């Protein structure tokens, strides 16, 4: 009995739900990134759909899933090695993050806009401390020197600023009530 494209046997769906997280974790450890791991597991699921009746007869479905995931990860590594041969470093090829999907890019851009809008509503001193710390990647002593204040004042200013920023973001909801940041593209 072949499985049609629209029909997935209930026992296969149950097995997938029960083992999905385990298989993605296994793949993530082998390939080094979540997106590729999810792709490998999804590809395995699709391949298993085609031969599900043969796997349930022999009782090897779970071990087949694991083996297929490991083999899928090996294929990812082979593709990365080939890509590395044609340019790029070993480290970059093995641990490169895939390009974000259009959805992920839009969500990230919206999150950044929300943070910038909320940041613009903070008092200048708090905003300055947060920007120097998280965008400028300065240490507390460097921030203290830049702002002309003590390290203790930097710590308390950052703490108050982050608390305020967090509460403003929590109140803001999905578009937020914040005014647009000057020069912001929407």
The answer to whether 165 and 118 are in contact (CB under 8 A) is yes
Q: How far is CA 186 from the centre of its chain?
A: 23
Give kind and range of the element (H or E) at residue 49.
helix 34-50
Question: Is 180 domain-assigned?
Answer: no
140 and 164 inside one domain? yes
87 and 153 inside one domain? no
61 and 138 inside one domain? no
CA distance 40 to 46: 10
- Cα angle: 63, vertex 29, 48; to 5 degrees: 35
16 and 76 inside one domain? yes
Lowest-pLDDT range of 89-93, 94-98, 115-119, 131-135:
89-93
Question: Is 182 domain-assigned?
Answer: no
52 and 78 inside one domain? yes
Helices (H) and strands (E) in the chain, counts: 9, 0
Question: Is 4 domain-assigned?
Answer: no
Q: 106 is in which domain, residue-wise?
A: 102-172
Tens digits of per-residue pLDDT, 153-169?
999 999 999 999 999 98
Question: Domain holding 134: CATH number?
Answer: 1.10.10.10
Tens digits of per-residue pLDDT, 66-111?
888 888 888 888 888 877 777 655 555 455 556 667 777 788 788 8
- Please name which of 132, 183, 184 lies closest in space to residue 161, comparing C-alpha atoms: 132
pLDDT at res. 180:
46
34 and 79 inside one domain? yes
Q: Is the pLDDT reported for residue 12 higher than 80?
A: no
Last residue of a domain, one of 95, 118, 144: 95
Question: Is 80 domain-assigned?
Answer: yes
Last residue of a domain, one of 95, 123, 143: 95
Instruction: Count the domains in the chain.
Output: 2
pLDDT band at residue 3 using 50, 70 and 90 as cut-offs: very low
- Please name which of 30, 21, 44, 42 lies closest in space to residue 95, comparing C-alpha atoms: 30
């Amino acid at each position: 009995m072949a499985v049609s494209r629209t029909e997935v046997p209930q026992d296969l769906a149950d097995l997938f739900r029960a083992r999905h997280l385990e298989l993605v974790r296994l793949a993530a450890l082998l390939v080094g990134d979540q997106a590729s791991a999810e792709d490998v597991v999804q590809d395995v699921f699709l391949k298993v759909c085609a031969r599900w009746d043969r796997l349930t007869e022999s009782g090897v479905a779970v071990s087949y899933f694991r083996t297929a995931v490991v083999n899928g990860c090996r294929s990812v590594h082979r593709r990365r090695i080939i890509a590395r041969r044609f340019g790029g470093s070993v480290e970059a090829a093995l641990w490169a993050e895939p390009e974000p999907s259009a959805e992920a890019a839009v969500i990230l851009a919206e999150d950044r806009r929300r943070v910038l809008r909320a940041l613009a509503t903070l008092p200048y001193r708090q905003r300055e401390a947060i920007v120097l710390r998280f965008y400028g990647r300065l240490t507390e002593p460097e921030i203290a020197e830049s702002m002309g204040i003590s390290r203790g004042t930097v710590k308390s200013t950052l703490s108050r600023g982050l608390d305020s920023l967090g509460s403003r973001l929590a109140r803001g909801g999905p578009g937020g009530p914040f005014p647009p940041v000057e020069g912001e593209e929407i």
